[in-house]
Chain A
């Protein structure tokens, strides 16, 4: 379980996260939603250790993140439409990632499932946006991590690939992994999410099960529920 406790973060004078406390539970999928500039990316970067909090604590299974970043061995991250070294082939990217983590268990089937073997010798720079996203998603799943952090994971994916990814995400939930998905496509999140974390202006306005959000907002779907939160009709 990942826990954020009173996390604050500012870039210069701009306060990006203000006292965010959130628990990401194992075996559950949490949808991280909020308008542009609400602090979603910063929250993800804090969990990954790409940015450091000004205040507050981040814990993995009750223990503070270690300074040397060893905890990241348990986290898989899929960035949104990443620009990887464009002259490396898909195979070389994954060979490098494997070599960087010797001894780590590798999910070979994931590479087949995402169809990446077909593009193994293709330079990353020549891949379409959808294929790049598949590479990014496979990077997240590659080492069977306990925690999956997926930033707009279905961006650019065709319906088949998107469906396959959702199946993998559900399988991760069944396997007891913690999943955090940041996305603007609320219809897709609705299919997957057990919990919702709604950020606005750096404040966590809602954190809890999807059902509770629907009940709070008096709606039946996630999209109008989030819209209601955005309009400030129901701020918790």
Chain B
């Protein structure tokens, strides 16, 4: 078995037994159950879950990921003191953290949806996009967490940066877009706003799920623009591609930090 797979396997085994990760999966499960309990249809549940996903997935991936990388410092050193390549150790460590987080989200949301037969009420495509969006968001923010944690040795400072990144991408970004639209409403903003949307994985995941549902009213300015420009067929493909890029870019930054840094 390759180094990547062995380190990944150890990471998955470790985190699969972590109370925090089990609580994360159980939390999403409980939220999904509660949404059904309060009489939501499949589509309504997916919409509510989307809002929970857009806030919680980046937050948990960033906070948990940053703390995990710092807590694994000595284990990383032990691995790097073996005759193993840094590239392989990095990939194993990243996937060993990101895949259990992704799995916890998918289990927490997916199992209750299947149990309640949500697929009958909500378009299957929307369910698939919810899963894909959540998974890619997890991978992107877990990589961002790794890039931050590897770039900042001080645990508290790294956590502050992780929280700042979460705030910027989930809260401040929307406010900034709104401010720009209000201030420059008479200007042709379509293209800059589309580019800005591609620069935010949270907005991409939101639009990805909403364009697959009959929920035009919830798309917002940038979402409606995205749907109008790219349509319902090309839109999701572009959103997924951009999210994949968003998942890959921080991995490359984290990898560069890992390869260059002194431990």
- Chain B 1-19 residues near chain A, CB threshold 8 A: 1, 3, 6-7, 9-11, 13-18
For B18, the chain A residues whose CB sits under 8 A away are: 87
- Chain B 67-88 residues near chain A, CB threshold 8 A: 71-75, 77-86
Identify which of A49-57, A200-208, A216-224 touches chain B. A49-57
Interface pair A82/B85, CB less than 8 Å apart: no
**Nearest CB to that of B10 among chain A residues?**
A96
Cα(A50)–Cα(B71), bound, Å: 17
Interface pair B13/A92, CB less than 8 Å apart: yes
Chain A CB within 10 A, most for which of B14, B79, B85 = B14
Against B, the Cβ 8 Å flags (1 = close, 0 = not) of A103-126 are 000000000000000000001000
> Can you list 21 A-B pairs, Cβ within 8 angstroms, ordered by A?
A48-B77, A50-B81, A52-B262, A72-B82, A72-B84, A79-B74, A79-B78, A82-B74, A83-B72, A83-B73, A84-B75, A84-B78, A85-B72, A87-B13, A87-B14, A87-B18, A92-B13, A100-B6, A100-B79, A100-B82, A101-B83
B-side interface mostly: helix
Interface pair B83/A69, CB less than 8 Å apart: yes
Interface pair A100/B3, CB less than 8 Å apart: yes
Cα(A108)–Cα(B217), bound, Å: 66
Verify if A191 is at the interface (C-beta below 8 Å from B).
no
Interface pair A71/B83, CB less than 8 Å apart: yes
Q: How many contacting A-B pairs (Cβ < 8 A)?
A: 85
Cα(A161)–Cα(B48), bound, Å: 57
For B184, the chain A residues whose CB sits under 8 A away are: none
For A72, the chain B residues whose CB sits under 8 A away are: 81-84
What's the least CB distance linking B214 to chain A, in Å?
43
For B85, the chain A residues whose CB sits under 8 A away are: 68-69
- Chain A 40-61 residues near chain B, CB threshold 8 A: 45, 48-52
**Nearest CB to that of A69 among chain B residues?**
B83
Cα(A79)–Cα(B262), bound, Å: 16
Cα(A84)–Cα(B7), bound, Å: 12
Verify if A236 is at the interface (C-beta below 8 Å from B).
no
What's the least CB distance linking A163 to chain B, in Å?
25
Verify if B187 is at the interface (C-beta below 8 Å from A).
no
Cα(A78)–Cα(B227), bound, Å: 57
What's the least CB distance linking A25 to chain B, in Å?
21
Q: Indicate which residue in A50, A92, A97 contacts B77 across the interface (CB closer than 8 Å).
A: A50
For B79, the chain A residues whose CB sits under 8 A away are: 100
**Nearest CB to that of B79 among chain A residues?**
A100
Q: Given A50-B263, A52-B262, verify A88-B10 contact (CB < 8 Å).
A: yes
Given contacts A49-B81, A79-B81, A84-B78, 4 further A-B contacts (CB under 8 A): A73-B83, A87-B18, A99-B6, A101-B83
What's the least CB distance linking B83 to chain A, in Å?
4
